Amino acid sequence: MPDYNAWSHPDTAAFDFRGDVRTRPTAAMLEALSNASLEDDVSGTDTTTNELQNYMAHLTSKPAGLFVLSGTMGNLVSIRSLLTQPPYAILCDARAHILNNESGGVFALTGAIPQVVQPANGRFLTLDDDIIPRIQVDNGKQIHKAPTRIIALENTLNGMVMPLSEIRRICNYAHKHGILVHLDGARLWEAIAAGEGSLSDYGPLFDTITLCFAKGLGASAGAVVVGSEAVIRHARWIRQSIGGGVRQPGPLCAAARVAVEQTFCGGLLQRTHGIARDIAAEWQKHGGRLTFPTETNMVWFNFNGLGFTLEDLVKEAATRGVLISRDRLVVHYQICEEAIESLKKSIEVLFSRFQETREIA
Ligand SMILES: *Cc1c(COP(=O)(O)O)cnc(C)c1O
């Protein structure tokens, strides 16, 4: 495996499991960045930016794309651009990023009512169990409840993959009832790396999709929204209104393109899934439980009923130079082999220390 941290940045990512936001741009990304075009994108005339937008539209089989500064901004401009006249509601998973991790932006800036659903199967929303019972279809009669205008799905969610077959059912049903569907696909790369379809399978099903270039792909910033020409035209307005129009985003777009081509298309994510499974297996081997199944690059340690706490694990791992911060561990492609072995060792040490304590008691 190439040494992604060798290009001189002192702040290494190779031992950092605190999140895949910890990835660093690679030498190839920095080189692309310095060769990017430097025209004005507020007027839509920057070559590198337009090329990235077209490339992402092509990959997802959508007519158009728009570069945005973050996944949060992508979800906001997408959803704001799909909605027209209130009253309206957005149906989403109770654990959705738009609901819990975006400072309420989508709901504050649209005035939409959230229709929050805890999926019956604990993993992903299904049409029959979660959506049909909760959706408010506009049948021209009832006026007490805000009609559902958007279903917002997320894939992956907490590292779990939503099956393409269920997504297809939900999108078909929604469109048949005049409801639009947005995908928070900040981590969609991971679902695809796990074998669940391709980008061009998802694009045609959704009205808008957000994809992030930072996180697991390794770029330092940026995301893209893909959709119809009309929606993207409107999204450009919304982006401008919230201060997301950037004069010279060319360098960011150039790095993002390398991130897509080398990290995602280059197949570097699959290894992270294998590592996550390996770490999860180590945890389970000692009797540890997982809060959510490890289906991509996340491992959710459950500390309930163990003789040690998250803080104990954080400290034990730190003695070996491994950084973790919460019960969710994220494996990114710049994690090195030594970090994996050190983390597994830390897990083993804690479980056996706990075992000894129990035996003495
Ligand atoms: C990280 C993330 C976002 C937001 O991305 P930012 O670039 O941090 O704003 C949105 N949705 C999901 C599922 C994410 O994991």
User: In this structure, which residue's CA is closest to atom 8 in ligand 1?
Assistant: 71
pLDDT at 152 over 90: yes
Task: Write down the pLDDT at residue 7.
Answer: 42
Whether pLDDT at 42 is above 90: yes
Q: Residues 49-70: what's their mean pLDDT?
A: 98
DSSP string over 35-46: TS----TTTT--
pTM over 0.85? The answer is yes
Residue at token pair 């409801």: 179
- The CA-atom distances, in angstroms, between 295 and each of 166, 183, 192 are 17, 19, 11
Residue from 69, 73, 100, 101 whose mutation best tests the ligand 1 pocket (most atoms within 8 A of CB)? 101
pLDDT band at 6 (very low <50, low <70, confident <90, very high): very low
Q: Which domains does the chain have, with CATH numbers?
A: 26-264 (3.40.640.10), 269-360 (3.90.1150.10)
Token pair, residue 84, equals 């027209």
Cβ atoms < 10 Å from Cβ of 358: 9
Residue with tokens 């099903």: 205
Mean pLDDT, range 160-177, rounded to an integer: 98
Contacts of 351 (CB under 8 A, 6+ apart): 286, 287, 288
Whether the CB of 97 sits within 6 Å of ligand 1: yes
Distance 187 CA to ligand 1 centre (A): 8
Rounded (10°) CA dihedral 268, 98, 41, 265: 10
Report which ligand 1 atom has the smallest distance to the Cα of 73. 9
Name the least confident of 2-11, 168-177, 241-250, 338-347. Answer: 2-11
The per-residue pLDDT of the chain, averaged, comes to: 95
pLDDT score, position 342: 96
Mapped onto helix, strand or coil, the DSSP state of residue 152 is strand
State the pLDDT confidence band at 359, using cuts at 50, 70 and 90: confident
Cα–Cα distance for residue pair 186/196, rounded to 1 Å: 15
Residue 360 has pLDDT above 90, yes or no: no
Average pLDDT on 143-149 reads 96
CA of 71 to the centre of ligand 1 (A): 5
Nearest to 297 by CA among 23, 66, 70, 28: 23
Listed residue (224, 255, 239, 247) closest to 38, CA to CA:
247
Using pLDDT thresholds of 50, 70 and 90, give the confidence band for residue 10.
very low
Q: How far is the CA of 227 from the centre of ligand 1 (A)?
A: 18
User: For a pocket test of ligand 1, which of 184, 252, 330 has the largest count of ligand atoms closer than 8 A to its C-beta?
Assistant: 184
Dist. CA 150–CA 179, nearest whole Å = 6
Helices (H), the chain: 27-34, 47-59, 71-82, 97-100, 105-110, 164-176, 188-193, 199-202, 229-241, 250-258, 269-285, 310-318, 337-360
Orientation angle between helical segments 250-258 and 27-34, nearest 10 degrees:
150
Percent of the chain scored above 90 by pLDDT?
A: 90
Q: How large a percentage of the chain has pLDDT more than 70?
A: 97
Q: Is the pLDDT of residue 8 over 50?
A: no
Cα(45) to ligand 1 centroid in Å equals: 27
Confidence of residue 4 (pLDDT cuts 50, 70, 90): low
CA 161 – CA 359 distance, rounded (Å): 40
The answer on pLDDT for 285 being more than 70 is: yes
Q: Which atom of ligand 1 is nearest to the CA of 72?
A: 9
Does the C-beta of 182 come closer than 6 Å to ligand 1?
no
